[in-house]
Amino acid sequence: MSHPHPELGLPPPLPRDGLRVIPLGGIGEIGRNMTVFEFDGALLVVDCGVLFPDSQQPGVDLILPDFSYLRDRLDDVAAVVLTHGHEDHIGGVPYLLREKRDLPLVGSTFTLALVEAKLREHRIKPYTLTVHEGQRERFGPFDCEFFAVNHSIPDALAVAIRTGAGLVLHTGDFKMDQLPLDGRRTDLGGFARLGADGVDLLLADSTNAEVPGFVTPEREIGPVLDAVIGKAARRVIVACFSSHVHRVQQVLDTAQAHNRKVAYVGRSMVRNMGVARDLGLLTVPPGLLVSVDEAARLPPERVVLVSTGSQGEPLSALARMASHEHRAVRIEPGDTVIMASSMVPGNETAVYGVINGLARCGATVIHKEVAMVHVSGHAPAGELLYLLNATRPTNVMPVHGEWRHLRAHGRLAQDSGVPADRIVLAEDGVVVDLVDGIARITGAIECGYVYVDGLEVGDVGEATLRDRRILGDEGFIAITVVIDAATGRAAGIPQVSGRGFSDEAGAFDGVLPLIEKELEMAVTDGVSDTHQLAQRVRRVVGRWVADTYRRRPMILPTVIAV
């Protein structure tokens, strides 16, 4: 995908008093959240996250937003505002700062602490500005006010952006837990104040727009964890996001109550919980934490492991445990594994693969479908209606969700009284202009997936991924033909071999006469160019494989003239 809507064309020049909104990720997908606002020649970036690959992107480590739109205008970026510290909102920051290292990063204390820890691994020292709820800062022509929102990570913020074009509210990810563990509620009163001032454009989290009702309070997870851990006869492994401080706090409290020691498993879990503890966001009773190696020496009934890998990531700690590949932790019969998270759309197959691997090892696996060990961090429909009624926006642009979520959010907006022609359903690369209080789609820009593959960024494209998928699904067949440079005739029997295609020793015997016949026809036709001969061999082998095996492997012919 390089231009998602070529029929729209490029947007026209932005009117002098207009505000342009350019989503570079996070609309039409779950992850890779990044939105650019343009006003009076300046740019404000909100979030810069990553998307994790699925089975159709073999070998890819991360998927980044496409920075092409920004690349020639990095000097115009007034600030990069980060709403919270989840990977789908901050994971792309190191790659953006490779483009320009002094871009100012703006965020809450915990968000910036996580970003700075990540950037140290990339050997980048950022310029940062810490902001708090209730604070108001100006970045170029953008007057930004920050509001507390409740989410599945501490210190999340929404941002109201005031310009000469009007007032925009970007919620980031949020929910309205009325009994949050840290007492920090979503500032619905602040949103209502904005509504009284007049919200010209609302960009709001759509992830749970299809889910009716209201979110279950996080604190209701505690008794369930207590019951599961209290009944467990052996070791307990709790898998959750490495940034879910509130969930980890409940695990620590429960482990302490049941006289168990706790060890963190997974580099990001160790790093993030260390940051949370240093900032006073995580309270760890003295003597509770031990290393993984120390935990291995304790009786299993006295151990709780808190691990990464709740999304089935292939290299995560939990996935390696499930496949007997973890260095320090081996799942034993009688262990209890708690999957304390929901599945990100697209990760279902990977997660169930890990669950089955754990069950095969003899573990009892507790997940959201069998016990209430997780509540979502995103506002369901009832809470989104509260937001819409409090802010009374003139225009609504659903963000952060797949198309089904965006459309469901659009219906909620219409139910709340927003006219249908003031609800903008866009996706990545689609440009929305707010002019004279009206938001409408005005064009589209190039906006594709940028793949991180090992140390390389952007070197892998769709053609390479297509080849990888073919190799993974069908294997390949290699044909080597040696011809006499003087006569053009084959100088020997063609050599045919395959990998990932068939284990039969004589699998290719039937195609050899066809290759030889084609080479003879080429001599008759006066074809001696090695490239043309290779293409003729490719076509012959391709037809034969399709007819004989109903397969479409990659075919690699090589013709050598001697």
| Residue 222 domain flag | yes
Each residue of 531-544: b (16+ CB within 10 Å) or e?
eebbebbeebbbeb
Considering the domain architecture, whether residues 62 and 208 belong to the same structural domain is answered as yes
pLDDT of residue 476: 80
Considering the domain architecture, whether residues 476 and 538 belong to the same structural domain is answered as yes
Choice between 546 and 404, residue whose per-residue pLDDT is larger: 404
H or E segment at 276? helix 267-278
**Cross-strand bridge partners of residue 557:** 479
343, 366, 389 - which closes a domain? 366
Residue at 311: amino acid letter: Q
Considering the domain architecture, whether residues 175 and 69 belong to the same structural domain is answered as yes
Of the candidate ranges 111-120, 171-180, 312-321, 449-458, the one whose mean pLDDT is the lowest: 449-458
Q: Give the pLDDT mean for 61-73.
A: 89
pLDDT in tens, 220-255: 999 999 999 999 999 999 999 889 999 999 999 999
Identify the CATH number of the domain in which residue 520 sits.
3.10.20.580
Considering the domain architecture, whether residues 472 and 524 belong to the same structural domain is answered as yes
Choice between 454 and 33, residue whose per-residue pLDDT is larger: 33
Considering the domain architecture, whether residues 38 and 159 belong to the same structural domain is answered as yes
pLDDT of residue 470: 66
| Residue 15 domain flag | no
pTM over 0.95: no
Considering the domain architecture, whether residues 194 and 267 belong to the same structural domain is answered as no
| Residue 191 domain flag | yes
| Residue 332 domain flag | yes
In the numeric block, the tokens 């998307």 are attached to 51
pLDDT of residue 471: 67
pLDDT of residue 496: 84
Residues sharing a CB contact under 8 Å with residue 162, sequence separation 6 or more, in sequence order: 142, 143, 144, 145, 168
Tally of structural domains, the chain: 3
Q: Give the pLDDT mean for 306-324.
A: 83
Considering the domain architecture, whether residues 119 and 159 belong to the same structural domain is answered as yes
Considering the domain architecture, whether residues 97 and 195 belong to the same structural domain is answered as yes
| Residue 183 domain flag | yes
401, 424, 453 - which closes a domain? 453
Average pLDDT, the chain: 89
304, 332, 366 - which closes a domain? 366
Distance CA 399, CA 409 (A): 9
Domain that holds residue 114: 20-213+377-453
pLDDT of residue 346: 65
pLDDT of residue 2: 43
